Structure 1
Amino acid sequence: MGHLMPKLNSSCKLNTSTSPLPELDVRQLGTESGMWWFNRKGPSGFSSASTAEEVTAGVDAGGLVAVITGASSGIGLETARVMALHGVHVVMAVRNVAAGHKAGEAIRAEIPGAGIRVLEMDLSSMDSVRRFATEFEALNLPLNILINNAGIMTRNCTRSIDGLELQFATNHIGHFLLTNLLLENMKRTSRETGVEGRIINVSSSAHFVTYPKGICFDKVKEPSRFISLIAYGQSKLANILHSTELSRVLKEDGVNISANAVHPGVVTTNLFRHRTIVNALVKSIGRIIHKTVEQGAATTCYVALHSQVTGISGKYFSNCNLDTPSSHASNPELAKKLWEFSSMIVSS
């Protein structure tokens, strides 16, 4: 992908490094490298062709509560549907409430008695995220699972209401703040029930397409020489770094909550609604590398519900198996720096 991008003359340039990736710890489910094209099953027993229903077959998650962002369409909706199918009480955090209610009604029609709630949240606005957290806490529900699924890809340089580059604000900062606000509930729930809490950040293999330093912090507030795909890749890298540092903090605190990142695969969803050319390309090559929505939601549901993932934290999954992220995504110093930077933004 890198050779298609225009060259930048600033210090923040496209990362086109071809250095070898570190090896995976094959003792834990193994790697998914090379499985994309041939649908070969990995050590987990699943592959890129596996669906969300297949990877959660036999799972009893009755009594659990999950918050899922971006749950009104695409893989977020399929994730909500499959979670509800297994007895999870799902709180759908959506920007478009009307679409959210319509999606919730569709789930209830298929699954009578499904526990579904719809609450409004615009991840690009920190005030909206805080309102959602307040409304959720007012429900007096426990929280076992948090799935930070929502994401956008923009064509033009746009700022959020808080003055941040929109993709970074929505894809990372909003989820970072949401996680912080809901974390005490998750800790309490885990402590009182003895059930492992799970936080899943939906990232993307697009995190490989970023700046040489990984995160250009100055471009979050001053996105000069903007190239949307690189900015998008930066936001997806941030998702992985967030889960990495969060995992470290939770382990240090002795909390029974895992934090992992997942790559859902290439799925035609409204993620590309702001990018006409990209949308056309995705549709044109879809028959070759395209996943269905049911397959795209599989890794998220696997990491959220499967017993194979118990005790695994701070990792990156694709096609329902452990995978190796970029060298930037494996950099603990960068993860800590992003954590401190994000904390400063949400507290300002």
Structure 2
Amino acid sequence: MSLWSAILPPLLRVYAAGVWALLVQLFSRHFALPEFPSQHGKVAVVTGGAKGMGYCTSRHLSRLGMHVIIASNNESEGQEAVRTIREETLNEKVEFIYCDLASMKSIRKFVYQFKAKHLQLHVLINNAGVMLVPKRKTVDGFEEHFGLNYLGHFLLTNLLLETLKESGRQDCDARVLTVSSATHYVAELQLHELQNSCYYSSHGAYAQSKLALVLFTYQLQHHLTATRCHVTANVVDPGVVNTELYKNLNWAGKVIKWMTAWFFFKTPEEGAATAIFAAASPELEGVGGCYLHNGKRTKSADISYDEDLQRKLWVMSCKMTGVHDVTSSSHEN
């Protein structure tokens, strides 16, 4: 058990991480996106791309000329996002495909519909998520934070991995970008206890899902490097951003957020900046296995570099989602 766990319960650990992230954010210079070369000819999939940071990411990638597929579980929001982005960017190559990341059946249907378009895939942005939801399970029986934030993206990435590999080339790697959070620094990975324990902490569950995403990214990059694929995987920390994710705060938390967010929190556009940078910057061509915050590479939690833990989580995730373990041969090598 870590020192954090011995001293503070999950709720206090997460809020301590949030306060620290806010202080760093307050005294740091906000990352400003540079100008990028045209991205015409590239195809991007953005989960949660109909609102918040996902919408800002989709809009910016469309402005750069990418063909953007918005994956969302809300049809009306998704179609409205497509209409607005097309009008703003004058790029007609913006589409919506329904995808509920809390349902493996829906994810598989999304992948089937995407592949039926016979498109390449150059950028996959795993952005969608939930935060601090009450104890409930996905349709597949998984705790919702873990099932949607992590397992849904694990399955989606694995099902699209072959397309990513076929799309990447020596002078232009395909890219997988996964959005995590500073809460991963205070997370404990206790999958069995989370799925079966009568005690439930939404704060602990959220942080755990974000740590799982970091571990997943690093293990994926190990595989990509070992098999010499022209695909890279990086993880992004957007900072503390004023989005709808905070809708599950209690009334006191909502009041405090309402009073302070305008000053302390990033806007969705500012929060999306590092993901956009990771998706389009020539600086990151061929660079994978990084934790990016405020447009820079930084160090993630010590536990996230535990290769044995990365491997165990990956193997467990393959069993949970029913996908073939593509890393097994590269791991043996």
TM-score by length of 2: 0.88
Residue 317 of structure 1 aligns with which residue? 292
Distance in 2 (alpha carbons) for counterparts of 1:306 and 1:185: 21
- Look up the match of 1:134: 112
Which of 196, 201, 205 in structure 2 is aligned with 1:227? 201
In 2, Cα distance between equivalents of 1:15 and 1:267? 19
* Aligned residue in 1 for 2:28: 39
Which whole-Å CA distance do the structure 2 matches of 1:35 and 1:280 have between them?
Answer: 22
- Once the two structures are TM-superposed, the CA of residue 100 in structure 1 deviates from its matched residue by 0.4
- Which letter does structure 2 place at the counterpart of 1:179? T
- Match status 1:285 vs 2:260: yes
Residue aligned with 1:187, SS: helix
SS in 2 for 1:186: helix
Residue 39 of structure 2: aligned partner = 61
1:275 is displaced (CA, Å) by 2.6
Are residues 1:249 and 2:223 paired?
yes
Query: Aligned Cα RMSD in Å?
Result: 2.4
Aligned mates of 1:221, 1:35 — CA distance in 2: 33
- Aligned residue in 2 for 1:73: 51
The separation in 1 between residues aligned to 2:173 and 2:239, in whole angstroms, is 26
Taking the TM superposition and a 5 Å limit, the aligned residue runs for 1:1-348 are 7=9, 36-40=25-29, 48-50=30-32, 54-55=33-34, 57-191=35-169, 194-211=171-188, 215-277=189-251, 278-347=253-322
CA shift, 1:35, in A, is 5.8
Structure 1 contact 80–92 (Cα < 8 Å) conserved: yes
Give the C-alpha shift of residue 239 in structure 1.
0.9
Contact 1:268/1:283 (<8 A) preserved: no
1:36 aligned counterpart, secondary structure: helix
Equivalent residue letter for 2:105:
D
Query: For the Cα contact (< 8 Å) 1:87–1:114, is it kept in 2?
Result: no
Secondary structure of 2:37 counterpart: coil
How far off is 1:62 after superposition?
A: 0.7
Does the 8 Å CA contact 2:194/2:200 hold for their aligned counterparts?
Answer: no
Superposed CA deviations along residues 250-280 of structure 1, whole A, max 9, x for unmatched, are: 1011101110100111111111223344444
8 Å contact 1:85–1:114 — kept in the other structure? Answer: no
CA, structure 1 residues 33+255, in 2 after alignment: closer, same or farther (shift >3 Å)?
Answer: farther
Contact persistence 1:14–1:209 (CA under 8 A): no
Distance 2:133 2:256 in 1: 14
Q: d(CA) in 1 for partners of 2:95 and 2:283?
A: 28
Please, which runs of 5 or more residues in structure 1 have no aligned partner? 19-31, 41-47
Q: Deviations over 1:7-39 (max 9, x none)?
A: 48xxxx9879x9xxxxxxxxxxxxx99863333
Residue segments in structure 2 that go unaligned for 5+ positions in a row: 324-333
Question: 1:207, CA displacement in angstroms?
Answer: 0.8
The change in CA–CA distance for 1:224 and 1:312 in structure 2 (over 3 A counts) is: farther
1:154 partner SS: coil
Counterpart secondary structure, 1:329? helix
Tell me what 2:329 maps to.
none
Of residues 329-338 and 240-249 in structure 1, the stretch that sits farther from structure 2 once superposed is: 329-338
> Is 1:94–1:121's contact at 8 Å kept on the other side of the alignment?
yes
Cα distance in 2, alignment partners of residues 237 and 176 from structure 1? 13
The answer to which structure, 1 or 2, has the higher relative contact order (CA under 8 A, 6+ apart) is: 1
Q: Name the CA shift for 1:76/1:223 in 2 (closer, same or farther; >3 Å).
A: farther
Question: Quick one: structure 1 residues 111 and 33, their matched pair in 2 at CA, closer, same or farther if it must change by over 3 Å?
Answer: closer
Is contact 2:22–2:265 with CA below 8 Å preserved after alignment? no
Structure 2 distance, partners of 1:217, 1:244, is 19
Total equivalences in the alignment: 313
Offset at 1:225?
1.1
Q: Is the contact made by 2:273 and 2:295 (CA closer than 8 Å) also made in structure 1?
A: yes
Cα distance in structure 2, aligned partners of 1:279 and 1:324: 31
More helix by share: 2
**Alpha-carbon distance in 1 for matches of 2:31, 2:262:** 13
